[in-house]
């Protein structure tokens, strides 16, 4: 019975550890608008295909193009183009918008994506206003809940990045929408580009074999490999769930009847900040001879993943 539960816990930890390896997968399609209109996004605004200095004169319209001035004579954008490839005149679309005067119209939305419960996701895009009047604001809704507001507070034509971290909680899908509460007709004109949604992996500082360098690992399936995750003035290591820490898929050693993770909180490097030391169960054959980098992964108690790397020196065992 005890053995079964150990196997079960290890299996869960291994699955969690392996699944953190596949991070930074882009969940949106056509975030840079290079594939044209209606691919990977939709809008309740009216799409305008034709260029001309008055084609985006009407409020609540948008185009995909390289320069706002091509669509509206009052929009001075400067010498550069979209955010993705600003210096290449041959390519480069952005979403060029004349803000709507009608409330609650969706400027941009993407097809619903699948997410993993408890994980943290990073949603970002770049925005620039096309004229100084009535700087636009955009409310971000995720699953019909307003979670944040973007304000285009740069200079005219200056790209400003927006980045929001969202914790999925129990959600298994996410539907993102941008809705502008700015209803001015004069002004409220802007460009959007390079939308992105991917899992947010917090980067942590790790020390494989604390206080030892090189970090020799003989990876023969015997014993444990100690790993430290370093705390700092801005990072409290007690936010980490020690049972979820893994080194390239190798799990923490569990001990005792309660099957607690073999881990301790101590300031091992005497810098005044507590560190988390975990003992990783060595699994034979995890590393190839000559491998020089190890990756530590895990999860926070509050949800969300982290990752950190350190050098390795694989010691031959025969």
Q: Residues in the site for Ca ion, rule: CB under 5 A?
A: 32-33, 82, 84, 98, 188-189, 193, 207, 209, 212-213, 215, 267, 269, 271, 273, 275
Residue closer to Ca ion (CB basis): 106 or 216: 216
- Shortest Cβ 10–Ca ion spacing (Å): 25
- Shortest Cβ 64–Ca ion spacing (Å): 9
- Measured from each CB, the residue nearest to Ca ion is 84
- Shortest Cβ 51–Ca ion spacing (Å): 16
Q: Hunting for tokens 């409330």 — which residue is that?
A: 103
- Shortest Cβ 30–Ca ion spacing (Å): 9
Report the alpha-carbon distance of residue 205 to residue 265 in Å, rounded. 15
- Shortest Cβ 271–Ca ion spacing (Å): 4
Q: Are strands 173-174 and 189-199 parallel, antiparallel or unpaired?
A: unpaired
Q: What is the number of helices (H) and of strands (E) in the chain? A: 1, 25
- Shortest Cβ 109–Ca ion spacing (Å): 18
Residue closer to Ca ion (CB basis): 294 or 304: 294
Give the CA count within 13 Å in the CB-facing half-sphere of 152: 31
Residue closer to Ca ion (CB basis): 5 or 161: 161
First to last CA, the chain: 36
Residue closer to Ca ion (CB basis): 162 or 254: 162
Instruction: Quickly count: other Cβ atoms within 10 Å of residue 75's Cβ.
Output: 22
Residue closer to Ca ion (CB basis): 207 or 248: 207
Q: Are strands 61-65 and 94-98 parallel, antiparallel or unpaired?
A: antiparallel
Q: Show the tokens assigned to 80.
A: 């550069």
Of 174, 167, 134, nearest to 153 (Cα)?
A: 134
Report the alpha-carbon distance of residue 100 to residue 62 in Å, rounded. 10
Residue closer to Ca ion (CB basis): 84 or 196: 84
SS3 92: coil
- Please return the burial class of 275, using the count of CB atoms within 10 Å of its CB with bins 0-12, 13-18 and 19+: buried
């Amino acid at each position: 019975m005890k053995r079964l539960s150990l196997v079960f816990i290890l299996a869960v930890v291994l699955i969690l550890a392996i699944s953190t390896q596949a991070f930074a997968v882009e969940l949106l399609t056509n975030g840079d608008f290079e594939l044209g209109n209606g691919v990977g996004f939709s809008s309740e605004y009216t799409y305008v295909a034709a260029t001309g200095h008055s084609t985006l004169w009407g409020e609540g319209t948008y185009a995909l193009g390289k320069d706002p001035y091509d669509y509206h004579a009052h929009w001075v954008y400067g010498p550069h183009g979209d955010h993705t490839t600003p210096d290449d005149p041959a390519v480069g679309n952005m979403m060029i918008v004349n803000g709507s005067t009608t409330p609650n119209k969706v400027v941009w939305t993407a097809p619903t994506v699948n997410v993993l419960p408890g994980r943290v996701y990073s949603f970002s895009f770049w925005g620039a206003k096309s004229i100084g009047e009535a700087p636009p604001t955009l409310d971000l809704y995720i699953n019909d809940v307003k979670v944040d507001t973007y304000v285009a507070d740069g200079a005219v034509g200056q790209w400003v990045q927006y980045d929001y971290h969202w914790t999925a909680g129990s959600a298994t899908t996410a539907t993102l929408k941008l809705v502008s509460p700015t209803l001015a007709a004069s002004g409220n004109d802007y460009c959007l580009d390079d939308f992105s949604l991917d899992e947010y992996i917090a980067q942590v500082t790790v020390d494989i074999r604390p206080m030892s360098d090189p970090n020799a690992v003989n990876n023969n399936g015997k014993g444990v490999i100690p790993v430290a995750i370093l705390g700092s003035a801005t990072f409290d290591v007690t936010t980490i769930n020690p049972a979820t820490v893994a080194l390239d898929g190798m799990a923490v050693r569990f001990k005792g009847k309660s099957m607690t993770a073999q881990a301790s909180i101590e300031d091992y490097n005497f810098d005044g900040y507590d560190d988390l030391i975990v003992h990783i169960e060595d699994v034979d054959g995890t590393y190839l001879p000559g491998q020089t980098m190890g990756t530590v992964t895990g999860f926070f108690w509050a949800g969300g993943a982290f990752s950190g790397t350190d050098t390795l020196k694989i010691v031959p065992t025969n």
